[in-house]
Amino acid sequence: MQLPGISSRAYEHPADRSALVAMRSLSGFDSVLKRMSGLFSERRLRLMFLASAVRTDETQFRALYDMGRDSAYILDLHRIPEIYVQQDPKAYAMAVGFDEPFIIVSTGLLDLMDEEELRFVIGHETSHILSGHAVYGTMLAVLTRLATRVAWIPLGYIGLRVIVAALEEWQRKAEMSADRGGLLAGQDPEAALRALMKLAGGSRLHEMNIEAFLDQAREYDTAGDVRDGLLKVLNLLGTTHPFAVTRVAELDRWRRSGSYDAILGGTYPHREDDANTKITEEIKAAANSYRESWAQSQDPFIGVLRDVAEGAVHAGERIFNRFARREN
């Protein structure tokens, strides 16, 4: 089922969406992107994969090529992204680039997933491209690499690490957004959950159970004391993806909320209205999203931080409201 003119705002996590709206609205941000692209040559990268990987088309990896066309059609993406298959036993897929982002899929992932699960993965990466995540994710890769090069300069390294840490938090929310977009593209909830579960447990699907895996998610959220909650936060440092158990639980929660069915029924924001989105509204939506997740969480550490975090959220809202009044 095609979703004509669908805006990426339809599936983006509120924290991801507010960051994207803010970045897109910044004066001169396009110039920054162009400068960043000078550090990261998209043309060079494409040539590298053209020489060392297999580009899908009607004669090579035809099924994967068709999935790319289908995902672009369903999400109404005007340009079909190129897909390259790279020999690597590790299971992964990614969307990279600035001007014309493309998708890379490892042979390890092809061996791990069945056809419907792959359809979810390709939809996930296509959603990254529609949202502009490929651009900002590439920026994160550049900054991470730069941070390692200036590690001998204490203040420079600390400053870059703060930026990288913020981008990593955004990227983790962006992955949740793309999971939702992948579900919309594949339109098979069970396959989407299976694909994410396989990232944790591998190909032996007959040895796994989605309900038991969701129980793991609930146990992860509630288990332990304040010390365990702190360890969960520390475990996320340096990561760009949420843990598989969290992704499965979040995607299942979003589907059960009714948002998925509403979008398939034709109720969703359209791309033509993106220019009218306001930063303050998106910030409030992000704040509400965090409040809901804090309220739902049974993690003792989250309980300790809840009051502090609420104060920070209120302060952030006041700042953005003040800027909004100045703009008006």
What is the spatial distance between Cα 37 and Cα 77, in angstroms, rounded to a whole number? 22
Mean pLDDT per segment of 10 residues, for the chain of length 328 residues? Answer: 94 75 53 53 85 98 98 96 97 88 97 98 96 71 58 52 67 91 98 97 95 93 71 78 93 95 96 77 57 54 49 51 51
pLDDT (0 to 100) of residue 327: 47
**pTM for the whole structure:** 0.78
pLDDT (0 to 100) of residue 257: 94
Residue at token pair 């997933």 = 113
Domain residue ranges of the chain, discontinuous segments joined by +: 8-277
- Per residue in 34-90, pLDDT tens? 555 555 567 888 899 999 999 999 999 999 999 999 999 999 999 999 999 999 999
pLDDT (0 to 100) of residue 305: 47
Q: Are 298 and 290 in contact (CB under 8 A)?
A: no
Amino acid at 34: K
Amino acid at 124: H
Cα distances from 218 to residues 48, 176, 211, 224, 292, in angstroms, run 43, 17, 11, 12, 16
- Contact residues for 250 (Cβ-Cβ < 8 A; gap 6+): 176, 179, 242
What is the spatial distance between Cα 12 and Cα 130, in angstroms, rounded to a whole number? 11
Q: Which two tokens stand for residue 55?
A: 């580009």
